[in-house]
Amino acid sequence: MRDYLLTLCVTAAVTYLLTGPVRKFAIVAGAMPAIRARDVHREPTPRLGGIAMFLGLCAGLIVADHLPNLSFVFERSNEPRALISGAALIWLIGVLDDKFEIDALIKLGGQMIAAGAMVLQGLTILWLPIPGVGTVSLTQWQGTLLTVALVVITINAVNFVDGLDGLAAGMVCIAATAFFLYAYRLWYGYGADAAAPATLFGALLMGMCLGFLPHNIHPARIFMGDSGSMLIGFVLAASAVSITGQLDVEALNEGLGGARNATHAMLPVFIPLLMPFTIIAIPIADLVLAIVRRTWRGQSPFAADRGHLHHRLLEIGHSHSRAVLIMYFWSALIAFGMLTYSVHSASMWVLLGIVGLSAVGLGLLLLPRFTPRAPRWAERFVPPRYRRRRAAVPPVAVETVPEWTPSLNGATAIGGRARETEQRPARAGR
């Protein structure tokens, strides 16, 4: 665990320290687009925050390669090299989009190319653990298509949810934390060495998000842009592909006592592939709703609008910070709820806890509709929004006698209200 924490801290530190210089570079490079109709921020803000996140990823991989307990991941597996090659391609596409705003179809093609580069180097889905059936092997074409589809869906889901300060980085950090804990449990708890790359990817992703968040919380000083949102979406998808498509359930039989228990232990991992991605269910739901909404209106699925979930929270009456925290809450509830259920699936208290927290979440969503009001005696101790509104008393009009002074075009009042006088037209040439 210490090596993972060291890798996480190095990634976060490099990302945090480089974000400031990257912000200055983005301003000089002109990566500060004008405010659009769908934007929430009011002042032009530089993009290209993904540059610092990518350099933090590279620094974390270099450090992990020199740690004794993590170096075997690079020796026995080609997955880290597959990750960095695909991440570099998707990052370059994002940098070009942040600067020149390339076409959506070109970005989609670039995402597929980056996913294909990752597949060609061995990071692909080889089999799926199906409950009641066991491990189902996939052909090369089936694994390639499923991997590319999963990567593209995840990238666009994270990209779509990147609409408020700190929202995408925080939600992906929550998902990465859940993934890291689950993969670490499979590796050290059940001796599954194939889960080691996914554990490393989760730690790297957590460091990238944690290092960037201090610069991106409201009010944001820099945006990650597509160079950052597509990058963290790609790394998250690579983690899911690694732990699901590379880990053989049959290898867990000895530690878990049978194929049925092994398949059951993989529950929080293969469900994301079938749903297809429960661990970031909120961005996936936002992506699906956006595609349906835009298609229904006769627009392109990639046409931007203000109908995302975070925009609706603002329309309900939530503040910017509270809308972000509500999205954090639901993401953590789904991700860690699945993680807790995988550990204590037979406990009824887990389900009751999830139901209770869901009720709390619904109450938070409806909070602007039921704003509490403090009693009169406690109003001085609470914020103004919780105080009762008093009826405004109209001011009494007092007639004053003006003191008139002569002027060229009429009368001017001093110390009172002036009456309108007829204005004479100015002479020509004045």
Interval 289-336: pLDDT, tens: 777 877 777 776 666 666 667 667 777 766 777 888 888 888 888 888
Q: Would you say how long the chain is, in residues?
A: 430
**The token pair that represents 224 in the structure block:** 């990650």
Could you tell me which residue, 59 or 327, shows the higher pLDDT? 59
pLDDT tens column, 140-185: 888 899 899 989 988 988 888 887 888 889 989 998 898 888 888 8
Mean per-residue pLDDT, 275-284: 61
Residue 185 gets which letter from DSSP? I
Amino acid, single-letter form, for residue 254 = E
215 vs 367 pLDDT, higher one: 215
DSSP assignment, residue 308?
Answer: S
Binned at pLDDT 50, 70 and 90, residue 274 comes out as very low
What does the alpha-carbon distance between residue 221 and residue 207 come to, in Å, rounded to a whole number? 19
Q: What are the phi and psi torsion angles at 368 (to 5°)? A: -65, -25
Count the neighbouring beta carbons within 10 Å of the beta carbon of residue 154.
33
At CA 54, angle to CA 245 and CA 270, rounded to 5? 20
DSSP 198: H
165 is in an annotated binding site: no
Instruction: Tell me what pLDDT residue 205 has.
Output: 94
pLDDT at residue 272 in the model: 41
State the pLDDT at residue 188. Answer: 77
Rounded distance between C-alpha atoms, residue 346 and residue 232, angstroms: 34
Q: Which residues, 6+ apart, have CB-to-CB distance to 158 below 8 Å?
A: 168, 171, 172, 229, 230, 232, 233, 236, 280, 283
Residue 382: the pLDDT is: 65
- List the single range of 108-122, 228-242, 380-394 with lowest mean pLDDT: 380-394
pTM of the predicted structure, to 2 decimals: 0.75
- Cα–Cα distance for residue pair 386/78, rounded to 1 Å: 57
Distance CA 199, CA 194 (A): 10
Q: Residue 96 is encoded by which pair of tokens? A: 């070009």
What is the pLDDT at residue 113?
Answer: 95
Residue 317 belongs to what H/E stretch?
Answer: none
Give the β-pairing of 127-130 and 134-137: antiparallel
Cβ neighbors of 188 (< 8 A, separation 6 or more) are none
Q: Across 75-89, 186-200, 284-298, 367-381, which has the greatest mean pLDDT?
A: 75-89
Query: Which pLDDT value is given to residue 164?
Result: 80
Query: What b/e string do you get for 270-279 counting C-beta neighbours within 10 Å, with b at 16 or more?
Result: bbbbeeebbb
pLDDT at 387 over 70: no
Distance in angstroms (rounded) separating the CA atoms of residues 10 and 62: 10
Q: How confident is the model at residue 196 (pLDDT cuts 50, 70, 90)?
A: confident
Give the span between the Cα atoms of 430 and 428, in whole angstroms: 6
Q: What single-letter DSSP state applies at residue 37?
A: T
226 is in an annotated binding site: yes
- Whole-angstrom Cα distance, residue 4 to residue 200? 7
Kindly indicate the confidence band of residue 375, based on its pLDDT and cuts at 50, 70 and 90.
low
